[in-house]
Structure formats: structure tokens, C-alpha cells
Copies of this chain bind each other. A is one copy, B any other.
Amino acid sequence: MKNSLHLQVITYTLMTDKKEKILQSALVLFANEGVSATSTNKIAKLAGVSEGLIFRHYKSKKGLLNAIIENAEQKVNILFGDIMMQTDPKSVILKTIEFPFLIKKSEYNYWKLQFKLKWEEEYNNPNKMKPLLDKLTWAFTQLNYDFPALEAQYMLQTLESISTEILKGNLTNQQQFKQFLIHKYSA
């Protein structure tokens, strides 16, 4: 079979099986070993494909990375979108707290890669969080918090670190911790 139809929540994409296999294999390696530590040779072997095919489909190693990042950003936007569309301030807080705990195990590698890349200047874009930060500031304002902007910043930072710990496998008491946060914000 040369082509297969893959449903991605936002767009339909036609991708050959092998092209897709390359993407998945690269994701696994990039996320767990790091981009520089992953050779195109390794990717090809894991994907069961000739090395040349990577370059036919993605032009360069960086092109492959960018393709993965685009995929990853879709997944972020889906979860973010759910928060952004809330109209009740309490729901905004609640959804935001729930956010790190909603990350599916099957998508860990996407998130791992994204968090790792934040350490590379080229891919670290703090402004990407701006809309969510504004939404949270609005929510805390509605709820009459003393320093809504700082509260928003505080919450975002906490959530980033919680996500990080979950992805590293360090947060063993996830549900307990989630309840604790909800209780703390009486959300």
C-alpha cells in the first residue's frame, strides 16, 4: 500500500506509510535522546527505511524536526483552545489546572520534545503563552484576586513545571496533587 489516509484532528493529510514511520521514529529518538544525539542513520534504522528517504521527504534533518514541531503544536493548540473558549473565570482556572494531567501517555514524546526544545534559544518563544496568560489574568481579575497578572504568571509557571515533572516520570501522586491545586484555588 503506497498511501494511507490519516485523520489528524485539524487537517487531513496524505502521507505514505514510510513517510509517517520516519516521523514517528524521529519523534521517539528526538524526544528521548535529544536532537543532536540522534543521527539520521538511527532514525532510518528504527523506521526500517533507507536513510536517503528521510531527505527525499523532509529535505534535511532540520526539516524533519520542523515537521514534527508543526505536528506537536497542533496538539498544544487543541488543549489550549479548550481553555481559551471558557467564559466562566472559575472554569478557566479549573481547566488550566487540569491541563497537565490531561496529557495522554501516547503523546508524551510530543510534549517531551517541546519542553526540551524550550532550552534552545531558537525554539524558545515565551510569547506563545501570551493569550493564555491574558485569559488567566482576566479570570483572576474577575475573581477579585489582589494581583491578577502575577497570579496568572505564577499559575502558568507552576503548570509548566508540573508538566515537566509528569513527563520526566517524577510526579507519582498525580491525582492527589491535582486535587490539592483545585482545592487551593477553590476551583
Contact = CB atoms under 8 A, between A and B. Distances in A.
Contact of A160 (B119, B154, B161): B161
A17 to B, nearest CB: 30
Q: Is the interface of A mostly helix, strand, loop or mixed?
A: helix
A37 interface: yes
A170 B36 contact: no
Interface in A20-48: 34, 36-37
Contact of A177 (B124, B150, B164, B170): B150
A59 interface: no
Nearest to A37: B36
Given A116-B119, A147-B180, A158 B154 contact: yes
A176 interface: yes
Contact of A119 (B147, B162, B168): B168
A168 B34 contact: no
A119 B34 CA distance: 9
Interface of A: 34, 36-37, 112, 115-116, 118-120, 124, 126, 147, 150, 153-154, 157-158, 160-162, 164-165, 168, 170, 176-177, 180-181, 184
5 contacts: A34-B36, A116-B119, A124-B168, A126-B170, A153-B177
Given A157-B162, A157-B165, 20 more contacts: A34-B119, A36-B37, A119-B168, A124-B168, A124-B170, A126-B168, A147-B180, A150-B180, A153-B177, A154-B158, A154-B177, A154-B180, A154-B184, A157-B161, A158-B158, A158-B161, A160-B161, A160-B164, A161-B161, A161-B164
